[in-house]
Every structure is written in C-alpha cells, then in structure tokens.
Amino acid sequence: MGSLFVVSDVHGYRDDLRHVLVEAGLLDADGDWRGHEDDALWVLGDLTDRGPDGIGVIDLVMGLQRQAPGQVHVLMGNHEILALGRHRFPGSRFEDSWRINGGRRRDQEALTPEHVEWLTNLPLMGRAGDFLLVHSDTTEYLAWGESVDQVNATVREQLAGDDLDGHWDVWARLTTRYHYTGAQGADVAAGVLETFGGEAVVHGHSIIGSLLGVPSHEVTDPILYADGRVLAIDGGRYDGGPLLVVRLD
C-alpha cells in the first residue's frame, strides 16, 4: 500500500520544493522521482508568483508527471488562473491583479504554449481515498457542479474560450477563503463532503498562520479544524513559513 503526500502554495520556490520532496523520499538527490510504485503526490495549486522561479516550479512538476504518470497530480489554484488571465488578456484587469498579487514578469515571459495548455487543463478538485483535495478553503466549488468530475469539466470549458469575464469569474471565486472557520464551519464542511465525497477536505490557499493568528515563521505543522473535517497545509512559504509536504496516511 502506497503513501499519499500533499503540498501546496509553492509560489515560485522551486529549490524548496525539490528539497522537501527529497526529504520526503519522493525524489532522489538528482531530483528524479523515486517514490514507491503506489505512492501519490498531489500539488494543490499556486505554483507561481511571489517567489523567484514560478516557471521552474511548473517545469519541475511537469517533469515529475512525465516520470511518474498517474502518481503525480496537480490542481489549479487561483494563481494559475491569474497567470493565464495575465497571459491571455494583457492590459486588462488581470494585469493589475497579477501585479498586486506578486506576479513576476520573468514567469510571464517564459510561458510557452506547452505551459499554457498544461495550466489550462489542470483540474480544480481531486479525490484520493477519504480525502477531498482542493486549493481554496471556499465553498465556491459548488457553483460549478455536484461532483468532482462535473466541476472540473465545467471550469475546463469555461477557460477554453476567450471570454475575459468567464476567466475572471473563476479567479474571483477561487480567491475567497475561510468558509470552514467559525461556529458553522464543521457543518459547512460536512455539506461540501456530502456533495463531493470524502471524509475530510484538504486545502492550501489560506496560510496556517492566518488561521491560528500567529506569524508564519512559528508554523511547523498542518492543522486539523472544523471538528476534524478540514486540514490546512499551507505553511506560508512566501510569508516566511515552511513549505510543508504532508503525508496523509
């Protein structure tokens, strides 16, 4: 039986990603896949922006998918939508949002047609065993369908055309957060899980420090909240916290 690993919000820190995957035993010293046959790695979005080498992160995970097809999975985060929007609609409102949210000109200049096609076809959600895997701690996924496959197909179609408003809608919805906090958080999570399946939601997007009210450099582990129905894994690397690779099993 293999192990299930998750990591999120790399935000351009390619060398950090490679280092933590080596430490987790998923890569060898040369950066090549060495996970066991049944191991799986899920990267929960936000590969680019804020950090030094977003394209390097994309190339690293694309390469791992080629080496270990069916074992390495990547979800779309709001920064993937932002990168696509800035690329497809230069001079639009995406331009300002991209700049405000840590966009790096080097990443945009290095985007190839292969990168763009790969980014466009990333799924928004995934299921692995008892875990519902998403980027954002939002319930907006419910607006796109009643199953994981339906959500992924709806958004893929929405991003396939040249409709700026359609792209913006996906971006705006994925930026919302904190839907599982507060007194009703457990019930909200239970409703999402009832729709999409799974026993727990696993997400990035909202850094753990913001959920705990502590500086990111004090974060050391993921946190389980909403009566055990939600696991947050974004240590806040861009904010001075750790890039966490979490073994779910």
Q: If you average pLDDT over every residue of the chain, what do you get? A: 97
Q: Please state at what angle helix 148-160 crosses helix 164-175, rounded to 10 degrees.
A: 140
pLDDT in tens, 138-173: 999 999 999 999 999 999 999 988 899 999 999 999
Nearest alpha-carbon partner for 9 in 174, 218, 220, 206 = 206
pTM of this prediction? 0.97
Residues 6+ apart with CB under 8 A from 226: 180, 181, 185, 186, 188, 189, 201
Which structure tokens are listed for 26? Answer: 């998923």
What homologous superfamily does CATH list for 4-247? Metallo-dependent phosphatases (3.60.21.10)
In the chain, the percentage of residues whose pLDDT exceeds 90 is: 98
User: Has residue 1 got a pLDDT over 80?
Assistant: no
The DSSP 8-state label assigned to residue 20 in this structure reads H
Domain ranges of the chain: 4-247
pLDDT in tens, 101-152: 999 999 999 999 999 999 999 999 999 999 999 999 999 999 999 999 999 9
